[in-house]
Amino acid sequence: MGVTGGSAMKRGFNKTVYYIVCILIAIAMFLPFYWSVLTSLKPDDEIFAMPIKWFPDHFTFEHYRKAFTTVPFALYFWNSLVLALAGVLANLFFGSLSGYAFAKLKFRLNKPIFRVLLAAMMIPGIVTMIPTVYVMRHIPFAGGNDFFGSGGNGLMNSFWGIILPGASGTFAVFFMRQFFLTLPSDMMEMARIEGCREFMIFWRIYLPLTKPALATLSIFTFQAGWNGFLWPMIVLNDPDKATIQMGLQAFSYNFQTDYGPMMAGALVAILPILVLFLALQRYFVQGIAFSGIKG
């Protein structure tokens, strides 16, 4: 009796410690979010007050108004949205098309090409950035270029310069290939016997089965497109074409002490991904686990 009571108490104690530790870490992880929300809603005099005001006396949306009026934040938001969505659509289509071919179809160069794609992921982005600018400037017939790729700006300073280089990312191909590999091949053989065309086998039979993988992949590519910074900064010179990350960086650089609007801007830049995450949480976790295990 005494022994079981003691061990039950010990278990209860352990559980309490466990939850306290978990909660403390959760607070630490969440504090920067709370801090920025707090700052974005506090009037200026409460922002610069010590000790910290954990709950503001007054709420104001002034900082949000200021962030959206001093710079065209809404336009940046829209630009980023267009770029991220275009990236998602392109990667879903090309990624699953190639992933299907690498996973399900027999051809002699299957393994070699796939290995080259994977190996190229090791090349740091900065190595290819400089010559890619040259290549894009000289794409024939684009951006006022003639047949020989000179005369205009090519794909520089246009959204295509962001969309095309990332339109069929190796991660998308790899991810979809891994998923197609888990699907059985006998459906394909049945369909062939019945005289179904190869593209239709892919489009009508296999692609609908990959919906969970497509959902996960769209989240990742959206996040990558939305959060991208260095490459858009190199390609887009026109202020009207700037993305939200570029706009936020310029804002925090130019208005270094305006912390209220800065936090408002940062939160607006985080918001779409946050909403996406809360709506599709299941796919996030599955996706990381899936690519992690198989990688």
Partner 1 sequence: MMKGGSYMASMRKVERHQARTAYLFITPTVLLFAVFTVIPVVMALYLSFTNYDVLSRNDWIGLDNYRRLIDDDLLWKTFRNVFLYSVIFVPLNILISLLLGLLLSRAWRGVKLFRTFYYLPTLTSAVAAATVWIWLLHPEFGLVNGLLSYVGITGPAWLSETRTAMLSIVMLTLWQSVGSNMIIYLAGLQGVPDYLYESARLDGAGKLDCFRFITWPQLRPTTFLVSTMAIIGALQLFDQAFVLTQGGPANVTKTPVYLIYQQGFNQLQMGYASAQAFVLAMAILVFSLINMRISKAEEPVV
Q: Enumerate residues 256-285 that contact partner 1 by CB under 8 A.
A: 259, 262-263, 265-267, 269-270, 273-274, 277, 281, 284-285
By beta-carbon proximity to partner 1, the closer residue of 1 and 126 is: 126
Note whether 130 binds partner 1 by CB under 8 A: yes
Place of tokens 């790899």: 174
Residues 156-195 close enough to bind partner 1 by CB under 8 A: 164-165, 167-168, 170, 173, 192
Note whether 147 binds partner 1 by CB under 8 A: no
Q: Which one of 57-65, 128-136, 145-153, 208-216 is the stretch in contact with partner 1 (CB under 8 A)?
A: 128-136
By beta-carbon proximity to partner 1, the closer residue of 9 and 21 is: 21
By beta-carbon proximity to partner 1, the closer residue of 1 and 127 is: 127
Burial of 219 (0-12, 13-18, 19+ CB in 10 A): buried
DSSP, res 203: I
CB of 94 to partner 1, least distance (A): 5
- Cα–Cα distance between 177 and 198 in angstroms, integer? 17
Among 131, 184, 195, 208, binds partner 1 (CB under 8 A): 131
**How many residues of this chain bind partner 1 (CB under 8 A)?**
91
- Cα–Cα distance between 27 and 35 in angstroms, integer? 11
| Both structure tokens of 260 | 């209220």
Note whether 102 binds partner 1 by CB under 8 A: yes
Burial of 221 (0-12, 13-18, 19+ CB in 10 A): buried
CB of 168 to partner 1, least distance (A): 4
- Cα–Cα distance between 176 and 196 in angstroms, integer? 22
| 183: Cα separation from own chain's centroid | 26
CB of 157 to partner 1, least distance (A): 14
- Cα–Cα distance between 139 and 119 in angstroms, integer? 26
CB of 41 to partner 1, least distance (A): 14
CB of 1 to partner 1, least distance (A): 26
Among 6, 9, 30, 45, binds partner 1 (CB under 8 A): 30
Residues 219-238 close enough to bind partner 1 by CB under 8 A: 223, 226-227, 229-230, 234
Residues 62-101 close enough to bind partner 1 by CB under 8 A: 94-95, 97-98, 100-101
| Both structure tokens of 233 | 């900064």
Cβ atoms of residues 247 and 85 within 8 Å: no
Long-range contacts of 202-209 (CB under 8 A, 24+ apart): 202/97, 202/100, 206/100, 206/104, 206/180, 207/96, 207/100, 209/183
| Both structure tokens of 207 | 């692609």
By beta-carbon proximity to partner 1, the closer residue of 2 and 197 is: 197
